Amino acid sequence: MDLFDKCLARGLKDEAREKGIYPYFHALQTRQDTEVMMEGKRRIMLGSNNYLGLTTCPEVIEAGIKAVEKYGTGCSGSRFLNGTLELHLELEAELASFLGKDAACTFPSGFQSNLGIISAIAGHGDYILCDKENHASIYDGCRLSFAKTFYYKHSDMADLERILSNIEGKGGILIVTDGVFSMTGEIAKLPEITRLAEKYGARVMVDDAHGLGVLGEGGRGTASYYGIEDKIDIYMGTFSKSLASLGGYAAASAEVIDYIKHCSRPFIFAASVPPASCCSALAALRYLRAHPEIVTRLSDLSAYARSRFREKGIRIIDASTPIVPIWTYEVENTLRKAKEIFEDGVYLNPVLPPATNPGECLLRSSYMATLTEGLIDEAVEIIGRHIPPETA
């Protein structure tokens, strides 16, 4: 067998292209905003993770420009060697303060953050308990760690405790979960998870990529939403969503962060976050701290969108985050509806297996604090022309 035979094998992507319903790699011609030009036509953007809308914030843009002018376009090295700027240290200190932790460290991307944190903290002889619907980067971090990994049923606390109660080795135990599950918008059961962690001597790590800027006091995330910040051992997050930039971070005790910085291969062997991205994220964080009302506005708009879908009889997954998924069930139906709605002027993200179970496909809509009720009304009317109402 030739190594490249797999590249020539036909799959869903080929069938979708032939049917004219391939949904990926649509090219933006304008900046990431509530309304965009995409492939020559205006589209209402309901498929972005730009939750606070800060990619177009003048203060954030200006910060990025000034960083390039002062520091140049890149660092040309890892944080471990020549790639640490005073900007990185400033951003890490303000992140740690915002999240109520001793220290933080940054990674070039959110994906690398999960790889770097998990593979450094857990190793041979240790145990990881991972929610089955966690992000792919968590799965890959578990693989890279070489720890024994168990996958508990999604948000099933009885299954989590069953696994914890059967661990017999002497290694350390890490429970890792998304704070907000990215495809459904569901919020993790952190109070129950932390209770079980205390009972069985485990540590807890929360991937709050979709929680920062969205939930909690002033947007401090999922643990703040529940009022249990002191129960979380490690926070992971990204700059590419609410903080309108690129990169990721870990926040924890000073000892844990120092250990990660000296043992994490994705941290040590990757070039550092470029100056513009670092300074833009810092400016976005400062904007969030100065304007906590933007989090309330985001929540209100998301609730408004859910109410409009319910009025139309469109079946959604009803959570309390800016992620509002619409049920479309089968793969081809999902792709066709995404295409129809895109051509009619709204961008949504199709969610297919393995991100969902077979027969449980979705169109994922997501909301920004800079949207208006008028734009949401227009988008819901367009979507309603293509998604039939359900009575169930």
Q: Is residue 304 part of a domain?
A: no
Task: Give the end of a domain, one of 244, 271, 290.
Answer: 290
Whether 129 and 263 share a structural domain? yes
Instruction: CATH number of the domain at 348, please.
Output: 3.90.1150.10
Q: Which of 119, 145, 155, 182 is catalytic?
A: 182
pLDDT tens digits, one per residue of 60-71: 999 999 999 999
Q: Is residue 109 part of a domain?
A: yes
Q: Is residue 213 part of a domain?
A: yes
For the beta sheet containing 35-38, the strands, ordered from the edge strand earlier in sequence to the opposite edge, are 35-38, 41-45, 346-347
DSSP lists the bridge partners of residue 180 as 187
Q: Which of 241, 337, 339, 386 is catalytic?
A: 241
Whether 128 and 34 share a structural domain? no
CA angle 121, 123, 125 (to 5 degrees): 130
For residue 241, indicate whether it is catalytic: yes
Q: Is residue 306 part of a domain?
A: no
Kindly state the tokens that stand for 170.
Answer: 């002497």
Whether 191 and 103 share a structural domain? yes
Contact 273, 266 (CB under 8 A): no
Q: What is the pLDDT of residue 261?
A: 97
Q: Is residue 269 part of a domain?
A: yes
Whether 272 and 221 share a structural domain? yes
User: What pairing do the DSSP bridges indicate for beta strands 41-45 and 35-38?
Assistant: antiparallel
User: Does the pLDDT of residue 392 top 70, yes or no?
Assistant: no
Whether 114 and 241 share a structural domain? yes
Whether 191 and 254 share a structural domain? yes
For residue 132, indicate whether it is catalytic: no
Number of domains in the chain: 2
Contact 79, 267 (CB under 8 A): yes
Average pLDDT over residues 384-389: 95
Contact 127, 174 (CB under 8 A): yes
Q: Token match 């550092």: residue? A: 272
Residue 303, Cβ neighbours under 10 Å: how many? 14
pLDDT tens digits, one per residue of 161-202: 999 999 998 899 999 999 999 999 999 999 999 999 999 999
Give 263: exposed, middle or buried? Use CB within 10 Å, 0-12, 13-18, 19+. middle
Kindly state the tokens that stand for 77.
Answer: 């090295």
Q: Is residue 99 part of a domain?
A: yes
Q: What is the pLDDT of residue 390?
A: 85
For residue 182, indicate whether it is catalytic: yes
Whether 37 and 80 share a structural domain? no
φ, ψ of residue 265 to 5 degrees: the values are -60, -45
Whether 17 and 160 share a structural domain? no
Whether 179 and 264 share a structural domain? yes
Task: Give the end of a domain, one of 237, 268, 290.
Answer: 290
Q: Is residue 74 part of a domain?
A: yes
Q: How confident is the model at residue 77 (pLDDT cuts 50, 70, 90)?
A: very high
Instruction: CATH number of the domain at 83, please.
Output: 3.40.640.10
Whether 216 and 168 share a structural domain? yes
Q: How far is CA 378 from CA 52, 181, 344, 373, 382, in A?
A: 20, 27, 11, 9, 6
User: Does the pLDDT of residue 274 top 80, yes or no?
Assistant: yes
Q: What is the pLDDT of residue 391?
A: 55
pLDDT tens digits, one per residue of 95-142: 999 999 999 999 999 999 999 999 999 999 999 999 999 999 999 999
Which residue segment(s) compose the domain that 113 sits in?
A: 58-290
Whether 264 and 377 share a structural domain? no
Task: Give the end of a domain, one of 264, 290, 316.
Answer: 290
Q: Is residue 311 part of a domain?
A: no
Count Cβ neighbours within 10 Å for each residue of 225-249 and write b for 16 or more, e otherwise: bbebbebbbbbbbbbbbbbbbbbbb
Average pLDDT over residues 342-359: 95
Average pLDDT over residues 284-308: 98
